[in-house]
Amino acid sequence: MSQAAALPDVIRDFERVDPAVVAQAAQFPSSIFADVAGRRGGLHGRIAPLAPSMRFAGPALTVELRPGDNLMIHAALAVARPGDVIVVDGKCDLSAALMGEIMSQQAVALGVAAVVIDGAVRDSEAIRALGFPMFAAGLNPNGPTKNVAGRLNHPISVGGVTVRPGDLVVGDADGVTVIEREKAPAMLALAAEKVEAETRRIADIQSRKALRPAWLDKALRTAGVIGEGETL
């Protein structure tokens, strides 16, 4: 029997990204991490926060379920640790809400940092008032079923991105970015450098020192838009 075949459907324990890395990562926007990770890791734009003020950073606790059934999210809440981000492969199904106010209240009481669902949720006004970071693909008043088995803490695909248990997940008004757990520490220095460079660029624009990027003419020549020696 292969190792993969021997894995249980529910994995309770897994290695999480270091809490110190999470604390530092929380200082940066999701867009910065997407940039320094090579323009990858950003979930599809359909997965968005219920309110622009919602933001989070934490290790992924992954959930795979059948469309319209939230049994495995309840299982995830049963094994979640404070600071975890529950990331749900809801198969992009919007026919029924997978979470609402009651489960969100439970998540807050457990110390869950956020929930990211490639699927629908409901009770959006109550969740906004609660202030719990809920990121979803849409809304639907229909309730889910609770009787179909799924998997916990296996690699999943959410919004076009592979998410493994323990990976760093960062979300804000722009959306959600996932960074592999092993790469997350190295991304922090790159993120700081990126923020510093962007801050300088904005200052140069505001002071009118540089009203266009220094790389523009070269990129236009490479693309064949202008010839050698030409400029805009």
CATH assignment of the domain containing 137: 3.50.30.40
pLDDT score of 2 more than 70: no
pLDDT band of 231, cuts 50, 70, 90 = confident
- Give domain status of residue 42, yes or no: yes
- Residue 4: predicted pLDDT: 53
H/E stretch holding 170:
strand 168-172
Q: How many CA atoms lie within 13 A of 53 on its CB side?
A: 6
- Give domain status of residue 189, yes or no: no
- Give domain status of residue 209, yes or no: no
Mean pLDDT for the stretch of residues 83-90: 98
| pLDDT digits 0-9 by tens, 19-69 | 999 999 999 999 999 999 999 999 999 999 999 999 999 999 999 999 999
202 is in an annotated binding site: no
What letters, b where the CB count within 10 A reaches 16 and e where it falls short, cover 156-170? bebbebebbbbbbbb
Domain membership of residue 121 as a residue range: 3-181
- Give domain status of residue 228, yes or no: no
Give residues with Cβ within 8 angstroms of 96, minimum separation 6: 67, 68, 120, 140, 142, 143, 144, 145
Q: How far apart are CA 41 and CA 30, in angstroms?
A: 10
- Give domain status of residue 152, yes or no: yes
The candidate with the shortest Cα–Cα distance to 122, out of 103, 107, 109, is 103
- Residue 5: predicted pLDDT: 58
134 is in an annotated binding site: no
Give residues with Cβ within 8 angstroms of 43, minimum separation 6: 116, 118, 158, 159, 160, 161, 175, 176, 177, 178
- Give domain status of residue 63, yes or no: yes
123 is in an annotated binding site: yes
H/E stretch holding 28:
none
DSSP codes of every residue in 37-53? TTS--BPPTT-EESSTT
Q: What angle do CA 47, 49, 53 make, to 5 degrees?
A: 155
Better pLDDT: 7 or 19: 19
pTM score, whole prediction: 0.93
- Give domain status of residue 131, yes or no: yes
**Cβ of 59: how many Cβ atoms within 10 Å?**
25
68 is in an annotated binding site: no
Q: For the chain, what is the domain count?
A: 1
Q: How far apart are CA 122 and CA 88, in angstroms?
A: 15
Q: How far apart are CA 150 and CA 70, in angstroms?
A: 9
- Give domain status of residue 172, yes or no: yes
101 is in an annotated binding site: yes
102 is in an annotated binding site: yes
